[in-house]
Each structure stands twice: as C-alpha cells, then as structure tokens.
Structure 1
C-alpha cells in the first residue's frame, strides 16, 4: 500500500510518477495543438523529436536515482504523448485526486492504474464532471493551497484555461481547514509569451521561504501582491517574459535544498546557487517546446 503524503512542493521526495517519452507518436498537426507554444514549433518545423525527449527524460530519471527516489513510469500507449503526468492527477496530504482532463487524454490515467491500485481506494477521489482542475494549477505551501484558474467569461473558448472556479470550490470543500487561494491567470491561444497555461508557468515556491515568479502571468495585480506579501519581495526571483516562455518557473524540488533545473536557465540557476541551493542541471529544452517542463513531467506521491 502506498502511504501518500504531500504537504508542500519542496520536502524530501520519496516516490514520484515520472512521465515517459517512448512511443510519443508523430508530430501533431496545427489543428491538434493544445497550446500556442506547441503550435509555434509545429509551424516552424522545430517540434521536438522522440529520441531527444527520451534522452532528456532519462537525464531527469538519473537525478531521481541519485537521490534514491522511487520512480514509477506510465505504461506505454502506442503513438501517444505521456510526458506530462502532472496534468492527470495530484496528491494533497494523503488523497489522490484524479483530474478531469481534456477527454482525449483520459487514457493517460489508465496508464498509471497499476500505481493507483497500490493506494487506499478510500483515498482516491474523482471530482464531478463540471469540475475542471489540473495538477499544474495546484500548489501546496504550508497551510495554503494555491490554485491557478481563469475567471474570464470566455473560459469555454480557451483550451488553455484548464482549471475553473468549480475546481477551486471542490478543493475548498475537500480541505476545509486549509487556506485555499485562487489566482486568475493570463491566457492566450495564440501568443505563448502571454499564456500562463498553469500556475506553475508563472510561480513556484522553492526551499523553505523562496519562490520564482512572473508578475505579468497574473490578470490581477492583487493576486501577485498576495504572494509578494506572503513570501517577501526579497525572497522572490522575478523572471522576465522570455524566461517565462522558456518555463523558468517550472523547475522541480527534490528536497528543500535540491532543485532540478534546465541547464540553460543561467540567471535563475545562479540565483539558486547564490541562495544555497544544490542545482541539478539537466537538458530539457526540447520538452519545453510543448509548453511543459520539469514540474509538469512529475506527479509526486510521497514526500517526507
């Protein structure tokens, strides 16, 4: 039986589901793109090839092995993108919440059923159909649950709007003792530099009291200020528009002092090192072309 335990983003990791890039399928057509960044690379002929993505994910896997983390991988579905396990479910405390993802991605949950089978069935929940919520929008920090959402009346028209207010309210009901705070995110179907697909595209805590943040990812300045007040401006590393585009806030913590980061994030990695973090730098630039990075490819199950 898996004893699920996730209370924050940075405690020492013990078990994780890492996505998989094998049998990833052909380059999608422009019509099939789920996000503006993939679309940009499909049109430019620079969409990532499978061999490169497998190599990048293996580098990530090696870091987990180095830190003695138990790694589960999805079962392979033929010709199918299974890199971003963060979208399909997430753990809060000891509860596994299945995400209601885009309907054609339902099979990704089946591919980790063997992991779900090891959980206490009473601790596995599935929200009702009208609830949209994806793991990239859900972030735990002490007694807080931060949730990215989109409050625009045109929500339905945005395939990039992944978590709705029903999703926020569902989590509030499930965890009545926690402070649940939603953040209204900037969305774009056409310009990846102005699209915060999930909350972890414009914010993420690191260590015990620090964070990476992109101010323009928030539709309301008040939401950005909430985090500044909570963390202290001096504890936040502010990324720029181009750094947001390359997903600088989508790193992944293995421990309070260990962060896995993309090797090209020079400015961020220097800041992390200067603040006492061990930075495990790996190549992940090809995978980032699909508007997802390190945090997106992980589904943490147990932290200390």
Structure 2
C-alpha cells in the first residue's frame, strides 16, 4: 500500500505519477484548444510533435529515477493527451483529491487506476460537483495551502479559469487547522502572456524559503505583495512576462536541494545554482507549447516527513 504524504512542495520526493505523451492524438482544432498558448501554436503550425514530447518526458523520468523516486505512469489511452497529471488530482497530507476538471478530461483519472488501487480507498476523495479545482492551482506549504482562483462574475466565460470560489471554501472545510490563502489570477482566453492558467504558472516555492514569482500573474497587487513579504524580497526570483510565457515558474523540486528545470532557462538556472541548488536540466520546450511544464506533468504522492 502507498501511504500518501504531501505537506509542501519541496520535501524529498519518494513517489510520483508522471504523465505520458504517448498516443496523445492529432493536433487539436483551434476551437478545441484548452488554453491560449496551445491555440497560438496550433494556428502557427508549430504545435509539438508526439515523438519530441515523448523524448522530453523520458528525460524527466530518467532524472526522477536517478534520484531514487518511484515513478508511476498512466495507462496509455488512444489519442488522449495525458501529459499533465497535475490537473487530474492532488495530494494534501494523506488524502488524494480527484479534481473536478474539464469534462473532456475525466477519462484521464481512470488511467491511473493501477496506482489508486494501492491507496486506502477512504483516502481518495471527490469534491462536490460545484467545486471546480485543478492541481496546478493548489500548493500545500506547511501550515498554509496556497490556492490560485478566479472569482469574478465572468468566470464561466474563461476556459482558462479552472478553480472557483467554492474550491477555496471546500479546502478550508477539509483542512480547518491550515490557513488557506487564495490568490486571484489574471485570465485571458486569447493572450498567453496575459494568462496565468494556474497558480504554478506565476509562482512556486523552491528550497526551504525561496520562491519564483511573476507580478503580472496576480490580479490583486496586495496578494502579490503578501507573497513578497512572506518569502522576503531577497529570496524571490522575479520573472518577466516573457519568462512566465516560457513557464519559468513551472520547475519541479525533487528535494529542498534539487530542482528540475528546463535547460533553456539560463537566467533562472544560474540564479538557482548561485543559491546553492543542484539544477537538473532537461529539454521541455516542446511540452511548454501547451502552457504546461515540469510541475504540471507531475502528481506527487509521497514526500518525506521532515522537521521544520
């Protein structure tokens, strides 16, 4: 049996679900795109090829295994994009939450059944239907749960708005002993440089007390400032609009000391090394064309317990 345990983003990783790019289907039609960056590449004829994405994901898998992580992969569904396993579920403490995602993607959850069978069924929870939530918007951080959301009245008009106000209240009910801190994210169906698809597209903690941050991803300046105060300005790597577009904040921590990053993120990777991190560089630029990167591709199941 797997004993789930996730209380933060960076404790040493023991087990994870990594998505798959195999049989991810033909290039979507423009009207079927889930986000503006994919749409941009569909229209430009630069949408990523399956073989390239498979190669990128295998490079990521190899790094995880090198560090002793148990890696689960979904059952391959024909002509189905299963790269972004972060969207379909997330773990907080010892519970796995089955995300209420875009209905077209529901079958992706069934493709991790072989892993779910190793978990106590009482620990697998499906939120009520009105709770819209995806794993990219949820970040456990010790006594906090950071949540990206969009609560304006035009929420239904944005295919890029994935986590609603009901989700924030639901998490508060589930974890009364934690502080659930929500952040309003900037949304656009058409401009990927003005769209924070999930919280991890404009923010992510690294190490024990540092963070990558993009100010324009946040609709409310006070909420952005709260994060700056929380981590401390000297501990923050602020990324530009173009770096957010390239997904600089969507790296992935194997431990407080080891970060997996895209090999082209030179400015970030140099900063991480200057801060004392080991940076494992992998090619992920093709997958990034779908407005997702390394964190989006992972569903962490177990991180070591550690004393803070």
Question: In which range does the TM-score fall when normalised by the shorter chain?
Answer: over 0.9
After TM superposition, give the deviation of residue 181 of structure 1 in Å.
0.3
**Runs (4+) off by over 2 Å:** none
When the two structures are aligned, how many residues end up with a matched partner? Answer: 304
Q: How far apart, CA to CA, are the structure 2 residues paired with 1:106 and 1:28?
A: 18
* Aligned-partner Cα distance in 2 for 1:229–1:140: 18
Partner deviation per Cα, 1:193-231 (whole Å, 9 max, x = no partner): 000000000000000000000001000001101101110
CA distance in 2, matches of 1:255, 1:19: 20
1:58-73 matches, cutoff 5 A: 58-73=58-73
Please give the secondary structure, in 2, of the residue aligned with 1:255.
coil
Distance across 1 between alignment mates of 2:183 and 2:113: 31
Counterpart in the other structure of 2:104? 104
Question: How far apart are residue 116 of structure 1 and its match?
Answer: 1.0
Deviations along 1:164-216, one digit per CA (max 9) or x if unpaired, are 00001100000000010000000000000000000000000000000000001
SS at match of 2:166: helix
- Alignment of 1:210 with 2:202, yes or no, is no
Q: How far is 1:151 from its partner?
A: 1.7
- CA shift for structure 1 position 140: 1.2
Identify the residue that residue 82 of structure 1 maps to in structure 2: 82
**How far does residue 112 in structure 1 lie from its aligned partner after superposition?**
0.4
Counterpart position of 2:238: 238
**1:21 and 2:21 equivalent?**
yes
Matches of residues 1-304 of structure 1 in structure 2 within 5 Å?
1-304=1-304
Q: Which runs of 5+ in 2 are unaligned?
A: none
Once the two structures are TM-superposed, the CA of residue 113 in structure 1 deviates from its matched residue by 1.1
CA positional deviation for 1:234: 0.6
TM superposition shift of 1:249: 0.1
What TM-score, normalized to structure 1? 1.00
Q: Within 1, Cα distance between the matches of 2:124 and 2:50?
A: 32
- CA separation in 1, counterparts of 2:173 and 2:192? 33
Deviation at 1:85, TM superposition (A): 0.1
